Amino acid sequence: MRCAIYPGTFDPITLGHIDMVKRAAPLCDKLIVGVARSTPKNVWFSPEERVELVRDAFRELSSVEVKTFEGLLVDFAKACGAGFIVRGVRAFSDFEYELQMALINRKLAPDVETLFLMPAEEYGYVSSSRVREIAALNGDVRRYVTPKTYQALLEKIQARHETRDTPRRSAAGG
């Protein structure tokens, strides 16, 4: 069985990621979307929330499985029996970083290949952090995310506002 991993932080999943999965899924028997649990990024969504949104996005794609992972990506790939890692290259600027990551992964695990795919042009500039930034500034991100993710973003922003607006008690009890 030909199995592949599409890894990422997915904070949150965008239509760009979904486009990548739809391109990659027909190339293998099973595509595992690997959601990185820990990340140096300042994430908005917990691993469980990110997984839930990713699962919802692919609920109709039977060959797509969603799993979280921790530690090295190549170890996760091997544990899943995946022969290759799929990464999207949106612009030339992605390439150097992606090449570095692919070559390091190859050194770590020579039998796991990295496959680069190009997303649809309309998603060539989309990233999760841009989506979060626009949403936080009350911009409309519905063209970049699923309705469920849009709703989750609104709720997250609302929760952030409430935390920010809640007056803190001073040490004097005020």
Interacting residues with ligand COA (CB under 6 A): 7-9, 11, 14, 16-17, 20, 36, 41, 72-73, 88, 90, 101, 104-105, 119, 123, 126-129
Q: Which is nearer to ligand COA, 126 or 169 (CB)?
A: 126
Residue number with the smallest Cβ distance to ligand COA: 16
Min CB(35)–ligand COA separation in Å = 8
Question: CA distances (Å), 143 to each of 41, 56, 91, 129, 131, in order?
Answer: 24, 17, 20, 15, 10
Closest approach of ligand COA to the CB of residue 158, in Å: 21
Q: Which residue, 16 or 47, is less far from ligand COA as judged by CB?
A: 16
Active-site positions read 17, 41, 90, 128
Buried/exposed code over 37-65 (b: 16+ C-beta within 10 A; e: otherwise): eeeeeebbbebebbbbbbeebbeeeeebb
CA–CA gap between residue 172 and residue 170 (Å, rounded): 5
Nearest-angstrom CA–CA distance, 33 and 85:
10
| Residue 157 Cβ vs ligand COA, minimum distance, rounded to whole Å | 17
Closer of 26 and 173 to ligand COA (Cβ):
26
Nearer to ligand COA, 123 or 170 (CB): 123
